[in-house]
Amino acid sequence: MPHTVAKHTVMDLDNWAYPRRPVVPVHESVHERFSVEIFRGCTRGCRFCQAGMITRPVRERSITTIGEMVEQGVAASGFGEVGLLSLSSADHSEINEIAKGLADRYEGANLGLSLPSTRVDAFNVTLANELARGGRRSGLTFAPEGGTERMRKVINKMVTEDDLIRTVTTAYASGWRQVKLYFMCGLPTETDEDVAAIADLAKKVIKAGREASGRRDIRCTVSIGGFVPKPHTPFQWAGQAPHETVDARLRSLGRALRADPGYGRAVGYRYHDGRPSIIEGLLSRGDRRVAQVIKAAWADGARFDGWSEHFSFGRWERCAEEALAGEPVDLDWYTTREREYDEVLPWDHLDAGLDRDWLWQDWQDACDASGALEVEDCRWTPCYDCGVCPAMGTEIQTGPTGATLLPLPTVPARAGS
Ligand code: SF4
């Protein structure tokens, strides 16, 4: 066996035999749509994001292939919605042309278009309007992840408060009534104030929405969960925040959001408490010894633990204690402990192409006492040597190609639409 196993990277997505005739369930499913992956990889450099780190570099699927895939997939499946998926879909270099081309082609055909959550700094109203042309104007979802600019710099989510307010103002002024904001709690270097600031941010968003639209029925939902450090990211060395800390911050955020009667109804609050995140953290960064914990929890009746009504933290704590009794480690050792540079990590034999020293430096830059240092996106700025391209023999592949999605013929309206 080789010492390390390297990932394989598909470079030409147009040639990859993506399922174009999907299996269609006979009953309604959660994601009731035909999905097209429009590009792979993301080099925005969010330090918590495993998907962004391990799927580098960015490789775009061409606009013409996307058009063909939608045509074939919709014809074969009959779905009434197409999801344009990727890690950050609004970043496709031809996303406006893709959305407009599809909206033109399926005008009146009762076909909805959707994007997963959009980056605050990549949102534009033209794109949003094209997506809404198919019929539904769904809510908009943005993920600032951190409540203060300091926090967002630590995680390298380079979004200012002004960016966010400007973006939501445009959205509310263009007819959207509902914006959902995603955050994480328990991030490295986080303080109580960083989480409390989310309440102020939500109120500013609602205020901006009311001013821009001249209406009172504006809503902003804050959705927040506990941060779980992931392998192959700069935060793989981080100590996870104890669940008591996360829960205390979430409770106080809930109180702050509800405290002001002027915003009470306009603000929604969804949160996942800190204890499931600790078990996710155990599974995320566990080594082979954790297999015994999982087996013990299963034998003890653990099923569907992602559903809060089935999740028992006590069971996992007990099973971890029993299964790890003969080992010099425990639940805290796997989760809340910060790792040193020279510790051998359980996933060091898996090679995603990322240079370990670059990851470590990025971790140090995140926690810099004088303020976190940010990393730009190498799609638009010079390479900063994360290691992937030379190690894997790959390269960034982005357009624009200048091609058009049309001339596919315009699709006739469906009966009843
Ligand atoms: S090696 Fe350079 S160009 Fe390639 S993904 Fe890393 S930073 Fe970007």
Local confidence band at 417 (pLDDT 50, 70, 90 cut-offs): very low
Share of the chain above pLDDT 90, in %: 77
Q: Enter the tokens of residue 175.
A: 């007819």
Nearest CA to ligand 1 atom 4: 389
Using the Cα atoms of residue 67, residue 71, residue 77 and residue 82 in order, give the sign of their dihedral.
positive
pTM for the structure as a whole: 0.93
Q: Is the peptide bond before 407 cis (omega within 30 degrees of 0)?
A: yes
Nearest Cα neighbor of 13 from 38, 44, 43, 35 is 38
Each residue of 129-146: pLDDT tens digit? Answer: 888 887 666 678 899 999
What is the structure's pLDDT at 409? Answer: 64
User: What is the CA(387)–ligand 1 centre distance, in A?
Assistant: 6
Ligand 1 in reach of 56 Cβ (< 6 A): yes
- From CA 377, how far away is CA 43, in angstroms rounded? 5
- From CA 374, how far away is CA 194, in angstroms rounded? 18
- Binning the chain into helix, strand and coil, the percentages to the nearest 5 are 40, 10, 50
Ligand 1: nearest atom to the Cα of 387:
1
What backbone torsions phi and psi does residue 143 show, to the nearest 5 degrees?
A: -125, 80
Ligand 1 in reach of 388 Cβ (< 6 A): yes
- From CA 98, how far away is CA 113, in angstroms rounded? 11
Ligand 1: nearest atom to the Cα of 378:
8
User: What is the CA(117)–ligand 1 centre distance, in A?
Assistant: 24
C-alpha R_g of the chain: 23
- Number of C-alpha atoms within 13 angstroms, CB side, residue 64? 7
Ligand 1 in reach of 384 Cβ (< 6 A): yes
Count the neighbouring beta carbons within 10 Å of the beta carbon of residue 376.
14
User: What is the CA(404)–ligand 1 centre distance, in A?
Assistant: 28
Distances (CA, A) of 408 to 64, 106, 400: 9, 10, 19
CB 253 within 8 A of CB 223: no
What is the structure's pLDDT at 410? Answer: 66
Ligand 1 in reach of 383 Cβ (< 6 A): yes
- From CA 369, how far away is CA 257, in angstroms rounded? 30
Each residue of 202-211: pLDDT tens digit? Answer: 999 999 999 9
Residue in the block written with tokens 């970043």: 91
Ligand 1 in reach of 366 Cβ (< 6 A): no
User: What is the CA(43)–ligand 1 centre distance, in A?
Assistant: 8
Long-range CB pairs of 261-266, under 8 A, 24+ apart, other chains included: 263/202, 263/203, 263/206, 266/206, 266/216, 266/218, 266/219, 266/220
User: What is the CA(21)–ligand 1 centre distance, in A?
Assistant: 34
Q: State the DSSP H helix or E strand holding residue 166, giving kind and residue range, or none if neither.
A: helix 161-173
Each residue of 42-95: pLDDT tens digit? Answer: 999 999 999 999 999 999 999 999 999 999 999 999 999 999 999 999 999 999
